[in-house]
Amino acid sequence: MTETATAPAPARDRDYAEYGLCGFLALTGLVILLDAARLSNNTTGVDPLGPKPVPLLVGGALVVLAVALAVAVARGSRGEAEAGEDIDLHSRADYKTVLLLIGVFIANILLIDLLGWVISGGLLFYGSAIVLGSRHFVRDLVIAAALSLGTFYGFAIGLGVALPAGILQGIL
Amino acid sequence: MTIVVGFTPTAAGRAALLAAAEEATRRQMPVVVVNSSRGDALSDPGFAQPADLDWVRSTLTDAGVSFTVRQEVRGREASEEVLDVLNESNARLCVIGIRQRSAVGKMLLGSNAFRILMGAPCPVLAIKAHADG
Amino acid sequence: MDNLELLLQGFATAATPVNLLLALIGVIVGTAVGVLPGIGPAMTVALLLPILGELEPTSALIMLAGIFYGGMYGGSTTSILLNTPGESSSVVTAIEGNMMARAGRASQALATAALGSFIAGTIGTSLLVLCAPLVTRFAISLGAPEYFAIMLLAFVAVTAVLGASRLRGFISLMLGLTIGLVGLDSVSGQARLTFGIPQLSDGIDVVVVAVGIFALGEALWVAAHLRRRVADVIPVGRPWMGKQDFKRSWKPWLRGTAYGFPFGAVPAGGAEIPTFLSYITEKRLTKHPDEFGKGAIEGVAGPEAANNASAAGTMVPMLSLGLPTNATAAVMLAALVSYGIQPGPLLLQREGELVWALIASLFIGNTLLLILNLPLAPVWAKLLRIPRPYLYAGILFFASMGAYAVNGSSFDLILLLVMGVLGFVMRRFGLPVLPLIIAVILGPRIELQGRRALQLSSGELKGLFGSVNVSTGQFQLSPIAVTVYLIILIVLVWPLLFALIRKALPVKAQEALEVVHEERVHPQHADDVSVEPPADPEAREKSRQ
């Protein structure tokens, strides 16, 4: 029959990482305030408010909220990490995989203009699949190539979407 | 001393289980039933559902054989799981099911079956599914 | 009624071969996406946004709407066959639907879900035809102050009502506004938050934000917590149902529609509450109470209808006011913006052809879904065999492709990564995603309206509460603006009110309210509804490692 509510993600008395979040929010708020301060607020008849107020408001709000959150965290508030069908919150977070994925992503950013979408995107798919655990090395390569060629021909050439050809310019 | 059978809810898997039950009765040994999935996909036809496991249990109970069922989902290939159990449990015999393959496929065994054959520390009994399933 | 005429014209546009094909593609993609774990219609729409830039706005929207509706169908298929709700709005369907499937009545469950969705969708879309022009007519009478107030209400409603923590909702909102601030100020032309980077002067494209937060963020988050889980899939043949089933289903269908549509049309109403209410109602009203919990068909018919009616209801504020009430609607509005079309009350007037073609296409899409899903249900189940590494690698692939294609620049990929990491962080700390997206889309507009309202009153703050009557030259308080501000206040102090009201109610009503409130606060508990198959404890333990 239906299970009663499963326990939420492992409860820590205080999630110290949340203070990091507060710090980030406060920092962002300050950056916005500083950036807004250097704006010249020429108000005109057409624009009585000027470009300054909203950034000041948002920046200020972020700082206030950061403090409020810090207080809340100190009193035990815990952000509920988002659950989902593919999510298993009961085990430790696997940051290695995430960092590897980000690495593969950055590789794509660096290579895409040089090597073109077909190669770079294909590598992105292949790398990601492997990082995520797939072990069919040859099959994945084939799928990656098919996807990148398919999307290039279909979208870039077919629909005119802007995708770089890179090194393969002229061959495709 | 045990008999290890790699089970899947397919005709070949069921045939393997029946053969394992027969062997276990003959040799008077307990059976370890192994089923697994990498768990990569939400739906895996090789993964034994509760109904399949019920069938396994009732079949083995009817045969008067003692048994344990092991089902793992931890990102490893079926062959790895079976080989692990073979090594751990002092197996005397490994029973696996192999399925009918096309004319070309007949030249190649499934990769799992192949790896088990090559890596098993004991004799391996490969059972083909009956023609009528 | 000339609405009918316009609708017929809309059908003419929607029925062109290209648009029909796109509707079909949209509906298929939507169902597939609803079936697949981890991907939802909102993410899919976000991923497709850059590619759609090449299509006509009408055609693109038709496809997106198809995806939206399709997602609902797909979600219910997995709920029934797998006990894994594809969408949070299908959670309730899983309760009875999966039980029916285990009892061998999967076909009937699927049939009632499909038919109920079709009927609810059709009725809902018809109501949309009636309501949208009415709301628009009312909306056109709005001036800048009223419009400002309403947008503020949308902000507050989404932030303060959804989710467990309003504090985090507001943080999310502020982060969204921050992203919206980046770029040149539209009125004065000054650069804000660009830090001297020229590519930032156009601001951060909504598409990049949407794809980053929804798609990339989700993929990264899942990568950190990948769950290896094989679900118990119940094989099924063609959906069909007998006369008895039909007799028991038709009233729940209608009741469900009645619940779903209003909730969908209200900001932050959502689809979870009406499905839940429908379930409770059907449980109370059924002539077969003993079947509930074991597979009662009313428990599938009602909630599924509520689900789809809510989706239709979402279209009302989206098309008539330009207010998104859920993530998918938000992204669809982003699509409109990327075409240079201003969403808002004038949408119906200025782009009438587009809107009516879209509405006509909703009818068509609904019908297509019914036709498709009856024979294709077993096929969808096979989709679930795709291993997750491919799914998520695919998401990364399409996300990158899309983000690059927006401007043909790899700089957007850097922004995409930043947004992706932000999405990850938000999911880690329980910051809700919807307020952020709505803030990014509505933020610049709300600032503009606010400044315009103040301009009309020459800078005096009361300009937000009313306007100068053109003929008398006197300042007049706007009743609409004032009412909306009052509503905002009520929404903000709601928790206090709620606590007070609860104490005054009799016990039974209190309990019901508790349940609804819980569902409201924790709508995503797919885990909790999941029925673990009664496997032997050993195997269960082992598979939990």
**Whether residue C523 has pLDDT greater than 60:** no
A1/C293 touch (CB, cutoff 8 Å), yes or no? yes
Which among B39, B49, B69 has CB closest to C229?
B39
Are both A66 and A34 inside the same structural domain?
yes
**Whether residue C289 has pLDDT greater than 70:** yes
Q: Which residue of B has its CA nearest to A85?
A: B42
Q: Is B121 on the interface with A (CB under 8 A)?
A: no
Confidence of residue C156 (pLDDT cuts 50, 70, 90): confident
Distance CA C376, CA C396 (A): 28
Strand-by-strand arrangement of the B31-37 sheet: B67-73, B31-37, B2-6, B91-98, B124-128
Sign for the CA dihedral angle at C473, C475, C476, C481 comes to: positive
Distance CA C484, CA B114 (A): 71
Rounded to two decimals, the pTM is 0.81
Neighbouring CB atoms inside 10 A of A162's CB total 16
A79/C417 touch (CB, cutoff 8 Å), yes or no? no
Using one digit for the tens of pLDDT, what is the confidence trace for A68-77? 888 888 877 7
- Angle, to 10 degrees, between the axis of helix C388-407 and the axis of helix A137-151? 30
Portion of chain C with pLDDT greater than 70, in percent: 85
**Whether residue C529 has pLDDT greater than 60:** no
Mean pLDDT of the A11-19 span: 66
Rg (CA), chain C: 23
**Whether residue C61 has pLDDT greater than 80:** yes
Residue whose C-alpha is closest to residue A82's, from C434, C79, C174, B75: C434
Query: How close B19 gets to chain A, by Cα (Å)?
Result: 32
- pLDDT of amino acid A7: 43
Which among A24, A25, A95 has CB closest to C224?
A95
Rg (CA), chain B: 14
Q: Is C231 on the interface with B (CB under 8 A)?
A: yes
Helices (H), C83-190: 91-102, 106-140, 144-161, 166-181
Mean pLDDT of the C309-329 span: 83
Cβ atoms of A83 and A25 within 8 Å: the answer is no
Distance CA A44, CA C314 (A): 39
Distance CA C255, CA C253 (A): 6
Q: Which residue of A has its CA nearest to B111?
A: A136
Residue whose C-alpha is closest to residue C179's, from C430, C444, C449: C444
**Whether residue B58 has pLDDT greater than 90:** yes
- Angle, to 10 degrees, between the axis of helix A16-37 and the axis of helix C166-181? 40
Query: How close C389 gets to chain A, by Cα (Å)?
Result: 5
Touching subunits of A (3+ CB pairs, under 8 Å) are B, C
Number of domains in chain A: 2
Distance CA A127, CA C222 (A): 16
In a domain, A81, yes or no: no
Q: Which residue of A has its CA nearest to C49?
A: A161
C323 or B87, which is more confident:
B87
- Tell me the pLDDT of chain C averaged across its residues: 79
C530 or A86, which is more confident:
A86
Residue whose C-alpha is closest to residue C161's, from C534, C434, C402, C543: C434
Mean pLDDT of the B82-97 span: 92
Q: Is A1 on the interface with C (CB under 8 A)?
A: yes
Distance CA B67, CA C403 (A): 55
B42/C84 touch (CB, cutoff 8 Å), yes or no? yes
- pLDDT of amino acid C387: 86
Using one digit for the tens of pLDDT, what is the confidence trace for A96-141? 889 999 999 999 999 988 888 888 999 999 999 999 888 888 888 9
- pLDDT of amino acid C150: 79
Residue whose C-alpha is closest to residue A128's, from A114, A113, A148: A148
Phi, psi dihedral angles at B92 (to 5 degrees) = -95, -25
C390 or A162, which is more confident:
C390
Are both A112 and A55 inside the same structural domain?
no
Angle C118-C526-C207 from CA coordinates, rounded to 5°: 70
Give me the amino acid identity at C63.
Answer: M
**Whether residue C163 has pLDDT greater than 60:** no
C142-156 CB burial, b ≥16 within 10 A, e <16: bbbbbbbbbbbbbbb
Chain C stretch 66-85, residues whose beta carbon is closer than 8 A to a beta carbon of chain B: 82, 84
Query: Which pair of tokens denotes residue C536?
Result: 């032997």
Neighbouring CB atoms inside 10 A of C300's CB total 37
Cβ atoms of C208 and A72 within 8 Å: the answer is no
Which among C384, C534, C543 has CB closest to B43?
C384
B40/C389 touch (CB, cutoff 8 Å), yes or no? yes
- pLDDT of amino acid C85: 62
Neighbouring CB atoms inside 10 A of C403's CB total 32
Angle C170-C176-C179 from CA coordinates, rounded to 5°: 145
Chain A stretch 121-140, residues whose beta carbon is closer than 8 A to a beta carbon of chain B: 133-135
> How many angstroms separate the first and last alpha carbons of chain B?
30
**Whether residue A92 has pLDDT greater than 50:** yes
Contacts of B75 in chain A (CB under 8 A): 133
Using one digit for the tens of pLDDT, what is the confidence trace for C71-104? 888 888 888 887 766 566 777 888 888 888 888 8
In a domain, A115, yes or no: yes
C84/A85 touch (CB, cutoff 8 Å), yes or no? yes
In a domain, A59, yes or no: yes
Residues facing B126 on adjacent strands: B96
Using one digit for the tens of pLDDT, what is the confidence trace for C172-200? 999 999 998 898 887 777 888 888 888 88
**DSSP sequence for C323-356:** ---SHHHHHHHHHHHHTT---STTHHHHTHHHHH
In a domain, A87, yes or no: no
Q: Is C191 on the interface with B (CB under 8 A)?
A: no
Cβ atoms of B70 and B82 within 8 Å: the answer is no
**Whether residue C57 has pLDDT greater than 80:** yes
For residue C226, give the 3-state DSSP assignment.
strand
Q: Is B43 on the interface with A (CB under 8 A)?
A: no
Cβ atoms of C136 and C323 within 8 Å: the answer is no
- pLDDT of amino acid A162: 78
- pLDDT of amino acid C459: 66
Q: Is B103 on the interface with A (CB under 8 A)?
A: no
What residue spans define the domains of chain B?
2-128
Pairing of strands C183-184, B124-128: unpaired
Q: How many CB pairs under 8 A join A and C?
A: 245
Distance CA C14, CA C5 (A): 14
Q: Which residue bears the tokens 């043909």?
A: C408
Distance CA C434, CA C327 (A): 6
Domain that holds residue A153: 95-168
- pLDDT of amino acid B41: 80
Query: Which pair of tokens denotes residue C337?
Result: 């913006």
In a domain, A144, yes or no: yes
Confidence of residue A2 (pLDDT cuts 50, 70, 90): very low
Which among C388, C539, C545 has CB closest to B41?
C388
Contacts of A135 in chain B (CB under 8 A): 77
- pLDDT of amino acid C363: 87
Distance CA C399, CA C46 (A): 9
Q: Is B75 on the interface with A (CB under 8 A)?
A: yes
Q: Give domain B2-128's CATH superfamily.
A: HUPs (3.40.50.620)
In a domain, A42, yes or no: yes
**Three-state helix/strand/coil letters over chain B:** CEEEEECCCCHHHHHHHHHHHHHHHHHCCCEEEEEEECCCCCCCCCCCCHHHHHHHHHHHHHCCCCEEEEEEECCCCHHHHHHHHHHHCCEEEEEEEECCCCCCHHHCCCHHHHHHHHHCCCCEEEEECCCCC
In a domain, A57, yes or no: yes
Distance CA B35, CA B33 (A): 7
- pLDDT of amino acid C177: 92
Using one digit for the tens of pLDDT, what is the confidence trace for C194-231? 888 888 888 888 888 888 988 898 889 888 887 777 77
Cα C284 from chain centroid (whole Å): 28
Confidence of residue C421 (pLDDT cuts 50, 70, 90): very high
Query: Which pair of tokens denotes residue A157?
Result: 């050439």
Cβ atoms of C402 and C207 within 8 Å: the answer is yes
Q: Which residue bears the tokens 């809510």?
A: C310
**Whether residue C528 has pLDDT greater than 60:** no
Q: Which span out of A66-70, B29-33, C1-5, C342-346 was modeled with the highest average pLDDT?
A: B29-33
Cα C148 from chain centroid (whole Å): 23
DSSP H or E segment with residue C438: helix C433-456
Which among C54, C225, C400 has CB closest to A89?
C225
Are both A68 and A34 inside the same structural domain?
yes
User: Which of B20-29, B87-96, C337-346, C417-426 has the weakest average pLDDT?
Assistant: C337-346
C233/B73 touch (CB, cutoff 8 Å), yes or no? no
Confidence of residue B59 (pLDDT cuts 50, 70, 90): very high
Using one digit for the tens of pLDDT, what is the confidence trace for A30-47? 888 888 888 877 776 666
Interface test with B, best of A97, A135, A136, A140 (most B CBs within 10 A): A135
B40/C533 touch (CB, cutoff 8 Å), yes or no? no
In a domain, A123, yes or no: yes
- Tell me the pLDDT of chain B averaged across its residues: 86
- pLDDT of amino acid C538: 38
Mean pLDDT of the B23-52 span: 88
Contacts of C413 in chain A (CB under 8 A): 105, 108-109, 112
Burial class (CB in 10 A: 0-12, 13-18, 19+), C473: exposed
